Amino acid sequence: MPRSETHLPQLMSLEDHEPTMSFPWVVTLLAGVLITTIVVDVIGNLLVIVSVFRNRKLRKAGNAFVVSLALADLVVAIYPYPLVLTAIFHDGWIAGYIHCQISGFLMGLSVIGSIFNITGIAINRYCYICHSLKYDKLFSNSNTMCYVVLVWALTILAIVPNWFVESLQYDPRVYSCTFAQSVSSLYTITVVVVHFILPIGIVTYCYLRIWILVIQVRRRVKPDSRPKIKPHDLRNFLTMFVVFVLFAVCWAPLNLIGLAVALDSRLSRAIPEWLFTASYFMAYFNSCLNAVVYGVLNHNFRKEYKRIVLIIFNTTSAPEVATCNLRKPPSKMCTAVEIYRLTSTKCCRINTLFWMFGRLSIPLKHPK
């Protein structure tokens, strides 16, 4: 299928490279990754937002950044990603120049908003664990809202210059209107340093300080009079730490490529197209991971996810697994599939899946 003709400024001439996207399996893979990302992104981040507002235990000042991060991830799934998916199906951008600019702007808004919110979460956790006596004053409800507004103000301020340097262009290699790394070397270096390396450095410092304190508490180096770290606070910290690590891993390849190209423009042709494309779609995929991390590592989020899904399916009935005796020594172990088959209705099966998710470590016995 030939590429659609467009009147968009492009990062490269189509004659300048041999497109690997001509392989049908590559196009299918990219479309599959993007469809999965969109579906999980929308469902997962909506669950996160609703969970925080519904659950009193989750309505904490620090989770304001979690909601803000979910909104940043949700933005790209609603508008830019569907346009990219359309470009993949049509083998070219067909939405026009205005949509290209808006799509590129929202993508930039999402990624910068994400890293700034992750930085806000790290600072919040650092103050909560390492400076607990000052935390309530620093992160009162009103102050926290001001911090969230500041995060988005800085995000908008950071993305606006893209319009003045005309760096939002269509790249046929990734079917996206995105930041052109080769437009200005100085601007690209500034973007990578200010929008990625500096925030990553701040987050790393905060989490290193927390890890040091955790190790000291575990080894009882600190006096007993010092505030102790509660188990649930440690679990919350670990959850946010995993969110940070996944973001860094998913976005590091793209930023490192951009930095390398900015320092030496000749590298732009030396970088394999598959690596460039993979780095972009790794970054895209990150937007759907946070909600999954919360559900896996945070009991309160997992519990609230379950409640919301059960409300949607209009049922509050318990799963039909009461006959599995959890106290007596098991004579024969139930498998997850067998427990699932014991249930008869669709709603009960959904409830059972959540029940099993929270009981994976408990041996179950066949009903008599």
For 187-237, the pLDDT digits (tens) are 889 999 999 999 999 999 999 999 998 888 777 654 555 556 777 888 888
- Going along the chain from its start, the domains and CATH numbers come out as 24-313 (1.20.1070.10)
What share of the chain has pLDDT > 90, as a percent? 53
Query: pLDDT higher for 343 or 138?
Result: 138
**Neighbouring C-beta atoms of residue 191, cutoff 10 Å:** 25
pLDDT of 224: 54
- Identify the band that residue 319 occupies on the pLDDT scale cut at 50, 70 and 90: very low
Q: Which of 48-52, 107-111, 265-269, 293-297 has the lowest mean pLDDT?
A: 265-269
- Identify the band that residue 351 occupies on the pLDDT scale cut at 50, 70 and 90: low
What share of the chain has pLDDT > 70, as a percent? 77
Against a cut of 0.75, is the pTM above it?
yes
Residues 6 or more apart whose CB falls under 8 angstroms from that of 107 comprise: 76, 80, 176, 177, 178, 179
Please compute the mean of the pLDDT values over residues 158-185 and round it to a whole number: 87
| pLDDT for residue 9 is more than 60 | no
List, for residues 100-110, the tens digit of each pLDDT value: 999 999 999 99
pLDDT of 166: 82
What's the N-to-C CA distance of the chain in angstroms? Answer: 61
List, for residues 52-66, the tens digit of each pLDDT value: 999 888 988 889 999
Alpha-carbon distances, residue 170 vs 106, 310, 352 (angstroms): 14, 43, 46
- Identify the band that residue 3 occupies on the pLDDT scale cut at 50, 70 and 90: very low
pLDDT of 132: 86
**Residue spans of beta strands (DSSP E) within 141-209:** 168-171, 176-179
Rounded Cα distance between 338 and 358, Å, is: 17
Side-chain half-sphere of 346: how many Cα atoms within 13 Å?
4
| pLDDT for residue 263 is more than 90 | no
